[in-house]
Structure 1
């Protein structure tokens, strides 16, 4: 097992006769990249989450349930179960009336085997177009948090990767300088003074 000494904090900023200008530049690049990573990730995540939650709240206010009626027999056979999951539902054509009095038609999920004229609750937007049921406040918070987290991590990845790339270039440059200096002074080590 290898022994490691105690870690020295802020070693990049301490005085050292062997420290080069490239070391100081790398120290500031690392600090800047980490700062931008945290700030970009948090601000982007919070901003997107707030925006998504606001949009879902707007949908809850604007979208309304409407009673529609089947215009054709629903495929399948009727089941005896009173409660079914959405997986047990089938698509069928329905019609409804929008607030201005005009009739609309569309496809909606209904119970299998439902008869023509059966009432079905559908959700519509301001223009009377079919939409999905709006998210509840709890669902909206969860969805906003998940989307905010994913996009915040994505936004944080940009400065993080940029900092890693820049540090890699600085490291390659430093190694090239060491190679050039070693080529000059390495052969002198074989000579003796006298």
Structure 2
């Protein structure tokens, strides 16, 4: 491969009698868009993933399982109702870390009778909460959050770049039209 490929890629910055101001602007827009997408997207993705991972780690540290007693039976619900993963809402009673007895509603396995002992998850204040994601699931979720954040930056940036390039294309076409209006009459007289 010869060195011409690299110089062809940078033609808009070289001195060229056919180069227009719009061509230089477009080259800078393309460079800026790709810099924002690659560098900014990577940075935003890593930061969002790291923040999500820290949040999941904090949840694992703050939440813990406690034993609770079902106050109501958890009936089997049809698949179209509010059962989630073969779980249904039920009232439970548990003892908070400071020793007070509390009651609340949470999801438990379906088909359990009142009085059954179940495990529920509570936060640092003793309130019911969801079970935190384990490390593997949290890692996957953090990566997905990071990718979503990177896409959240990349897509609007690419869209803005495309709109700016379209505007420059319109300006070029209008300039070509004006120049053709000046040149075309001279060409018509030559041919006939």
TM range (shorter): 0.7 to 0.9
What is the deviation of 1:159? Answer: 2.1
The 3-state SS of whatever aligns with 1:191 is helix
Partner of 1:16: 16
Structure 1 residues 18 and 115: CA distance shift in structure 2, 3 A: closer
User: Which deviates more from structure 2 when the two are superposed, residues 53-62 or residues 109-118?
Assistant: 109-118
Q: Number of matched residues?
A: 180
Partner of 2:154: 156
**Preserved CA contact (<8 Å) 1:37 1:158:** no
Cα offsets for 1:5-40 (capped at 9, x unmatched): x95332222322111222112111111111112122
What is the deviation of 1:179? Answer: 0.4
Q: Which runs of 5+ in 1 are unaligned?
A: 1-5, 77-85
Partner of 1:143: 141
Partner of 2:73: 73
Residue in structure 2 matching 1:131, options 126, 129, 132: 129
Cα offsets for 1:87-137 (capped at 9, x unmatched): 333322111111222221122333444333211100001121111111111
Residue in structure 1 matching 2:95, options 94, 97, 104: 97
The correspondence of residues 13-52 of structure 1 with structure 2, limited to 5 A, is: 13-52=13-52
Partner of 1:190: 188
User: Which deviates more from structure 2 when the two are superposed, residues 24-33 or residues 135-144?
Assistant: 24-33
The 3-state SS of whatever aligns with 2:132 is coil
Partner of 2:61: 61
Q: TM-score, normalised by structure 1?
A: 0.84
Q: Which runs of 5+ in 2 are unaligned?
A: 77-83
User: Which deviates more from structure 2 when the two are superposed, residues 34-43 or residues 86-95?
Assistant: 86-95
CA RMSD of aligned residues (A): 2.1
